[in-house]
Amino acid sequence: MSGTEPQEENKAIDETNDRKPDIISRHRPGRVVSHERLEQQLIFKTENSVELQIRVHTPDIIQLTYFLVGDVRSDFSYAINPDFEPEDVDLQFEEDEGYFQFSTSRVNGIVTKKNLLVHFFDSDGNMLCEDQHGFYRRESLMKGISEIKVTKQAPAGDRFYGLGDKAYEHNLRGRAFENWNTDAYAYERGDDPLYRSVPFYAALHNGRAYGIFFDNTYRTRFSFDRRENNISSFSSEGGVMNYYFINGPDLTDVTERYTRLTGVPEMPPMWALGYHQCRWSYYPESRVRELAETFRDKRIPCDAIYLDIDYMDDYRTFTWDTELFPDPGTMISDLSEQGFETIVMINPGVKVDEDYFVFQQGLENNYFCTRPDGEIVIAPVWPSQCTFPDFTHPDVRDWWGSLYEDLMAEKNISGIWNDMNEPAVFEVESKTFPNDIRHHFDGHPCSHKKAHNIYGMQMARASLDGMKKHNPDKRPFLLTRANFAGGQRYAALWTGDNIASWDHLKLANEQSLRLSISGYSFVGSDVGGFVDKPSPELFTRWLQLGIFHPLFRNHTMGYNVDGAAAVKKEEVELREAQIDADQEPWIFGDKYTDINRSIIELRYRLLHYLYTAFYKYVQEGRPILRPLGYYDQRDEQAVEESNEFLFGDHILVAPVLDKGQTEVEAYFPKGRWYDFRSNRCYKGKHKHTIPAPLEEVPFFVKEGTVLPLREVMQYTGERDPELLELNAYYSKSQVASQLYEDAGEGYEYRDGKYRLTTFTVKSSAERMTITAEREGAYSPPYPKTRINIIGLPLEPSAVQVDGEEKPLPEASRGTYTLEVSPDFQQLAILQKK
């Protein structure tokens, strides 16, 4: 026990038992009495047996772990990317009179001798992150650890971002938040916690950024100056204090380094970035076929159709209702011929049924979660009695993955949707398991207090492994609801059971941005809202936002209201129940059908650009969606902007988020930005009023960008494209942009069959040039490339392509268009003298 706390606090009465006292201990570090260096690790021990280990993984990533006597000392982490490789770092260490100092080429750190406080500075000596009270732990004999905590200074003006998914504005300052995966049906702004836990934040201090990742799976709490005392903190209800300090100096640097630490997914199949149609639920088979035919008849692009829980036999996961779907294999094959990938839901709750093969296998092999004395936990979800696999056991994950064989290898399902995996439990206040349920935790046995937040993540891991094993030549698409930091390696994410409201449209924007800067770029929301029905205007505006989110899925609660189950198997009555709850793009009449079609077509036009942004995310950890503050964190107006965002590196989106709005007041950060619709150029660091009629999507392309545009198809693999279109936007300065291409499916890109083209736009008083440098062995199927030169201030006299003069094209509304070989290396527009 620390000598800094009154002795009488050890005699505090346990509030749950007023007859007998509990023994409560509080620990704060005392004076450092010894220190040791082991290569890139520093160890400090205090007079009251608090030990701090500092490990330097890279010049910008530093891990701090605090131990007390009796703690479990393990490096095991579900969050850290198994492929993360620390670097050899030139670590300098020296002792001064009152502190120890360590430094890399990028970060300086100080550890005080008096009380083990840790302060971080950049290489120029500027303060970044400073302990206030530092480390603290509270525990009792009867309950064990109840709180471990670190407090830091939060000077006025500091901003805080991240935490994965919070129904709150971008800057988290002034609030406290919890991470405890929760089934948050119909959540509202400010509700907390939600479905997933990402205990990572980025902070902006005096124009310089740093990040904190608290690698702890217990219920965690983050406070950002909640008491207005300029103090922030992060804490948990168990485990050890184990966190990473991540240096910037830019906010995007922090996210990229955090994502490198926790990992990225592989490249998705191209179809997964197309438009997805979902509802609770599409059945019977005739209804699914009708849906597919309507998309094709109305010429509205769509790549994926989902089947929710009602395709199952009485909610038995990995089964089919043979009355509703008598021949699912043929149906899936027929949908595939029409260009639709089929995605089905898989839940973790296994129905208690002695004749059900999944329950039988799990029971025989002791694969289900148990109580401390060994009995299996049984709880209601969709079946009234469910058991739950312990996905923290590798044998259970292998078994669960094997159950996908029929879906993947036999029926050729393309994607899987994991839901209810917080894990959700009905009819109890906690909405989940009791804390004392036991878990294997990959050889580190523990209670549900420790395993709860990674349960959904490990289900997704098991699902992904099974999908890849049983269809190894096809890139998997997996969507999950619950997850934890690092879970982006396994699955895409959506923001859960939202509501069809204008405020939830704003939340969809804020939540997707927050997830993206928290390492989770493959994100989106239920377009139109899951609960309630959107107005035609709201649905259209949500579609317009959704085309800039990597996951583009329309999903609704559908007909599921009281009494709906009574008509489940009566197709005629079912259609009557459904008709007022449909949410397809054509449901609001011809006017909106035409508008919504054009919106979805725009998404397909932008797929090359999005695919390239995804490539940069996979290669560099670069977030696909970013707030304007991540573009220029020294621009106060950009930092304060909450609606606009960057989609990839070169597109600025100014979404319409309010009812009846027909124009937006858009702030443009530094540079010059071209309106994609009109090619009008706007000067940065200014606000402009932008027209935004219902049928148009206001977004802007950064000067100097070469923007790739794909042909509109009814689905991504409908045919080989006839051409690649490039919009090249004039800039006075030199600007580089990229295009990544591969087959869009399969894994040949790993063997070099990809094409990465770096376009560089460079201008002078005499000419504008576009150079193209390529790497990789992939040959795209289109025979020609069309280039649109936009914003050219000079009157051209000649065009040269790879040194050969070409006929001068005529301008159409200020744009010069010409066709070149897909392998061109340089195009030059010469000014008339």
* Active-site annotation, residues: 419, 422, 497
**HSE-CB for 477 with a 13 A CA cutoff:** 27
CA distance 628 to 176: 24
SS percent in the chain: helix, strand, coil, step 5? 20, 30, 45
Which residue's entry shows tokens 């969606």?
Answer: 625
Euclidean distance between CA atoms 480 and 456, whole angstroms: 8
Indicate the burial class of 695 (C-beta count within 10 angstroms; 0-12, 13-18, 19 or more): middle
Per the CB < 8 A criterion, the answer to whether 165 and 196 are in contact is yes
**Which of 66, 62, 54 minimizes the C-alpha distance to 2?**
66
Run of H or E residues at 517: helix 502-517
Where do the DSSP E strands lie in 68-166? 92-95, 99-103, 107-112, 118-122, 127-140, 144-153, 159-162
Cα separation, 655 vs 820, whole angstroms: 35
Burial class (CB in 10 A: 0-12, 13-18, 19+), 699: buried
Mention every residue, 6+ apart, whose C-beta is less than 8 A from residue 383: 314, 315, 316, 349, 351, 352
CB atoms within 10 A of CB 720: 10
If one counts every other C-beta atom within 10 angstroms of the C-beta of residue 34, the result is 10
Q: Cα–Cα–Cα angle for 563, 569, 574, nearest 5°?
A: 60
For residue 694, count other CB atoms closer than 10 A to its CB: 16
Q: 428 Cβ partners below 8 Å, 6+ apart?
A: 379
Helix and strand numbers, DSSP H then E, in the chain:
13, 50
The three state secondary structure string of 753-779 is CCEEEEEEEEECCCEEEEEEEEECCCC
Contact by Cβ (8 Å): 592, 334: no
| Measured distance CA(510)–CA(505) in Å, rounded | 9
- CB neighbours of residue 355 within 10 Å: 7
Q: Please report where in the chains the tokens 């950009």 appear, as a residue.
A: 638
Q: Both tokens of residue 201? A: 């934040």
Distance CA 798, CA 300 (A): 41
Q: Whole-angstrom Cα distance, residue 677 to residue 540?
A: 18
Residue 452 gets which letter from DSSP? H
